[in-house]
Amino acid sequence: MQKIGIKRSITSRWAVNTLGLVIIILLALGIMSLKLAENYYISTTEQYLISRMETINSALSRFTSANAYRSEVRNIVEKFTEKDKFELLVLNSDGIVTITSSGFQPSGWVRTGDFWVAESSEDGTAVSDTTLQSGEHVMYYTAMLPALAPEYSAVMIMTSLDNIDTQLTELGLLLMAVAALIVLLMLASGLYFVKSIVLPVRQISETARGYARGDFSDRIEKRSDDELGDLCDSINYMAEALENTDKMKNEFISSVSHELRTPLTAIKGWSETLCEMGDDPETFRKGMRVITGETERLSEMVEELLDFSRIQDGRFSLTKEPTDILAELGDAVLIYTERAKELGIEIEYFEPDMLPFVNGDASRLRQVFINIIDNAVKYSNEGGKVSIEAYAEDGNIIVLISDRGVGISAEDLPKVKEKFYKANHTRRGSGIGLAVANEIVEMHGGSLIINSELGKGTTVMITLPAMSGNKPAKGD
């Protein structure tokens, strides 16, 4: 039902706004053209009648004798050469026809009233048109003659307008045919154009409903290289991004579930062991160490998830103050030194004597260092080495954390800072630690750049803007 509504809506808007307007314009142009043509034909006929009448009046103006005048009037009427086109009539002073060029007396169809109109007019003429009882459309032109003979007081020339009406009718039909052709061409091209919009919109609508149901497998076919084509590309790109995000989200949920299950299993197992064990202080201490370590691990994971949720909701905030970077970095190194030794990994820390302070949140910066060092240890193999160094350069503080571990492939490297993304599923981790760390560094006005090569190791460079002036990293 929705797709039909879209099609009708677009088609009806086009029909009303475009096709309807064109039809109205064509009708107006057609009526105006017919009116102009009618005025032209009527005016031309009238001018011709006036011209003929002026010729007659010019011929009669030479006579001053009544007898000669009468003879010339009769001669002009009886020898009128255009009897097939015009009817020439002579009227007396009472407006009654006395002579006709056809030789037949009119039987009530002559507009004798025009005689009185011409007689009372300033120029002594009158023109009119009417439709006879027979249906013939005619035009009359009446002109008063010199008052030499009362029986020949006026001349009336009449012609049929049926030919003009026929031509106007043919012109009207031609204009209608042209208008109909234009409308049909517009209808065909318009429907094709509307169809070229409706079909992609319909496909977009159907595919979007699939996306709403969580099915990101369909892609919209690009039919043109215009705005609709760009829209199809954008939606396809969005679908691909949503599909990847959905996939990463599912992997993230699976990974987090696994990460939560492992420490919970250890805690549960040792809790049961401690409850059932006898008086063995060494086993008790070992179990408590495991429970404490796994509890800390769970706490870190929950805090990481909460931070990520705050970032997503825009509720993540920093409490900035002058911060000693070396103090926070040293704490992070200290935390992981013993843990790395247990895994057979060496941490090599090149600690400088002093570094400028930064305007930052100390706990959040320590969280960044812990996260990056944790990743370096986690993705290193037994016998590996993690190198950490810090220095000031061009008004910034640079922290480099390098390992010689499994590395990251060129395909995965651009995505490792994205939410939910986890390049290596064989190592523990939720896949959001780097996203949180990157957000924290950027909120401090810095950058987090990762360089890596698969099988050779990874280097993370953290850049933070330094405050003006130097201060010893350790109290003097």
- What is the tens place of the pLDDT at every residue in 307-334? 767 766 666 778 889 999 999 998 888 8
Exposure string of 422-439, with b = 16+ CB inside 10 Å and e = fewer, is bbbeeeebbbbbbbbbbb
With 0-12 / 13-18 / 19 or more C-beta atoms within 10 angstroms meaning exposed / middle / buried, residue 393 is exposed
Mean pLDDT of 417-430: 58
Q: 293 versus 231: which is more confidently predicted?
A: 231
Long-range pairs for 84-89: beta carbons < 8 A, 24 or more residues apart? 85/159, 86/49, 86/52, 86/157, 86/158, 86/159, 87/157, 87/158, 87/159, 88/155, 88/156, 88/157, 88/158, 89/155, 89/156, 89/157, 89/158
The answer to whether 73 and 153 have CB atoms below 8 angstroms apart is: no
Report the pLDDT value the prediction gives residue 4, as an integer from 0 to 100.
Answer: 42
Q: 305 has which bridge partners?
A: none
What CATH class is the domain 227-312?
mainly alpha
59-76, pLDDT tens digit by residue? 887 777 888 888 888 888
For residue 387, pLDDT beyond 90: yes
Mean pLDDT of 226-249: 79
Report the candidate in 338, 363, 333 with the shortest Cα–Cα distance to residue 350.
333
Q: Are 152 and 77 in contact (CB under 8 A)?
A: no
pTM greater than 0.75 (yes/no): no
Pairing type for strands 358-360 and 137-144 reads: unpaired
Q: Which residues have a Cβ under 8 Å from the Cβ of 91 and sit 6 or more positions away?
A: 97, 98, 112, 115, 142, 153, 154, 155, 156
Residue 2 confidence (pLDDT) above 60: no
- The DSSP symbol for 146 reads P
Assigned CATH class of 2-167: alpha beta
Strands 97-100 and 86-91: antiparallel
Residue ranges per structural domain of the chain: 2-167, 227-312, 319-465
Which position has the higher pLDDT, 135 or 429? 135
Tokens representing 275 are 């409850």
Mean pLDDT of the chain: 81
291, 331 contact by CB (below 8 A): no
CATH classification number, 319-465, choose in 3.30.565.10, 3.40.50.1000, 3.40.50.720, 3.30.2310.20: 3.30.565.10
The DSSP result for 156-172, as a single string, is EEEEE-HHHHHHHHHHH
The residue with tokens 């020949």 is 152
CB 350 within 8 A of CB 387: yes
